[in-house]
Amino acid sequence: MELGDAALLALARGGDSRALSCLVTRHQGVVYRYLLSFLKDEDQAADTAQDTFLKVLGRLDGFRGDSSFRTWLLAIARNEALGLIRACGRRKEEALEQTEFIPDDADAPDDVTVRAEEVRRVREALERLPAKQRLSVSLRLFDELSFREIGKIIGSTEGAVRVNYHYGIGRLREWLDEHGE
Amino acid sequence: MNTENRESEARKGLTQSGFSPCAEIRDLLPLSGLGFRGDSDRPDIEAHLHSCAECRSEAEFVARLCELRPEPPLFILQGVLDGAVRSDWVRRPRWRSLSAAAVAILALGMGLFWNPEPTADPLWALALEPEPTTWYSDEWIIAGGLVPQALSDDVLRALLQEMSQ
């Protein structure tokens, strides 16, 4: 039987490393993709995801269960990402709208790299979306969060998230179809 | 109506939700748990996707995107576990500290109340019995046992001389 987050948290608070491992395994995907949407850099997203979990480790007693563990985790991840952006003096959000889509002009890739190449193209297309559209699409499409939970995470109403999601999907289709996806 | 309710509603029947079937279906397309990624067991959804080219096209697009989601690198988990060990989180969890305190209190209590002289066990009674200072036979000479305190120094000296010959 699979333990829920609450049970794993209780065990992790007691120092159970297996419970910690389960929590990280369960949530590392959504944290990583969320940070990737923010930072648009795979290495930074991975490092910041790691930092996020370590920060969570030190704050387990501070989680009161007012929101879901995932929502709380993503709030911490967001703060970590914002801290990193501030530290680097980057203005990713403003630059996002001006990012030019660069189609892949390379020769046809072999079978081994086909998927990696497709993933890269989708990620680049996602990066062109405005922040709220990008986060709405990523969290809904890849991690199947409800529109309401996404709203809590990104600070929007449920209706606005729904609209952002559909706009985002529409623009992705347009761009990727245009470039042969 | 919130998302969870609408999703629940959609499971029961699209026509009851108040949204158009297209809008409902497109909202739900990413949810793999509902089986909309190609092998839905919902006849009404399947029927709609067959009859609506737009929704079918979006379903295929969403399914393709879902297959291409970025996956986290493997080192995240190991890094977190290593960091936890470095921070002493695994080795010195709070419950162990509490347990150590509990054990210390218990040991203190045992020290106060524990009687080290069990009297019921005959073996303990024999073991705790004072050793004899006087032997009543000559066995002590053979066994090399304790020197009886009752013998005088002169007698002892004579005995030692006799044994050394």
Q: Which DSSP category does A89 fall into?
A: T
Q: Is residue B25 part of a domain?
A: yes
- Give the residue-averaged pLDDT of B17-34: 74
Q: Of the residues B45, B67, B89, which one is the last residue of a structural domain?
A: B67
- Give the residue-averaged pLDDT of B19-39: 71
Of the two residues B155 and A4, the one the predictor is more confident about is: A4
Give one word for A180, left, alpha or beta, with left for phi > 0 and alpha for psi -120 to 50: left
At CA A160, angle to CA A156 and CA A164, rounded to 5? 110
Domain of B38? 3-67
Q: Is residue B77 part of a domain?
A: no
Percentage of residues in chain B with pLDDT exceeding 70?
Answer: 41
Counting Cβ atoms within 10 Å, is residue B90 exposed (0-12), middle (13-18) or buried (19+)?
A: middle
Q: Give Cα B152 distance to the centre of its chain.
A: 68
Q: Is residue B56 part of a domain?
A: yes
Give chain A's contact residues with B (Cβ, < 8 Å).
Answer: 13-17, 20-21, 24-25, 28-29, 31-33, 36, 42, 46, 49-50, 53-54, 57-58, 115, 118-119, 122-123, 140-142, 144, 146-149, 158, 162, 166, 169, 172-173, 181
Residue B118's pLDDT is 46
pLDDT band at B34 (very low <50, low <70, confident <90, very high): low
**Residue B4 forms contact with A (CB below 8 Å):** yes
Q: Of the residues B17, B44, B67, which one is the last residue of a structural domain?
A: B67
Interface test with B, best of A147, A171, A172 (most B CBs within 10 A): A147
> B90 vs A21: CB contact, 8 Å cut-off?
no
Residue B39's pLDDT is 52
How confident is chain A (181 residues) per 10-residue block, as mean pLDDT?
83 87 94 92 94 90 84 92 81 47 49 76 90 93 92 92 94 85 48
Of the two residues B11 and B68, the one the predictor is more confident about is: B68
What are the pLDDT digits (tens) for B50-107? 899 999 888 889 988 888 888 999 899 999 988 888 876 654 445 544 454 455 455 5
DSSP reduced 3-state for B130: coil
pTM for the whole structure: 0.65
Closest-CA distance, B12 to chain A, in angstroms, reads: 18
The number of folded domains in chain B is 2
Q: Is residue B99 part of a domain?
A: no
What distance in Å separates the CA atoms of residue A164 and residue A168, rounded to the nearest whole number?
6
Q: DSSP per residue over B23-91, as a string?
A: HHHHHHTT-GGGT-SS----HHHHHHHHH-HHHHHHHHHHHHHHHT-----THHHHHHHHHHHHTTTTT
Residues in B touching A181 (Cβ below 8 Å): 64
Of the two residues A7 and B133, the one the predictor is more confident about is: A7
Q: Is residue B137 part of a domain?
A: yes
Domains of chain A: 1-90 (1.10.1740.10), 97-181 (1.10.10.10)
Kindly provide the ipTM of the predicted complex, given to two decimals.
0.79
Handedness of CA A61, A63, A69, A75 (dihedral sign): negative
Q: Is residue B42 part of a domain?
A: yes
Closest chain B CA to residue A47: B76
Look at residue B143 and tell me whether its pLDDT is greater than 50.
no
Q: Is residue B88 part of a domain?
A: no
Task: Tally the C-alpha atoms within 13 A of residue A113's C-alpha that lie toward its C-beta.
Answer: 8
Q: Is residue B89 part of a domain?
A: no
Of the two residues B164 and A165, the one the predictor is more confident about is: A165
Best CA proximity match to B81, nearest among A15, A131, A10, A170: A15
What are the pLDDT digits (tens) for A104-145? 444 555 655 777 888 888 888 999 999 999 999 999 999 999
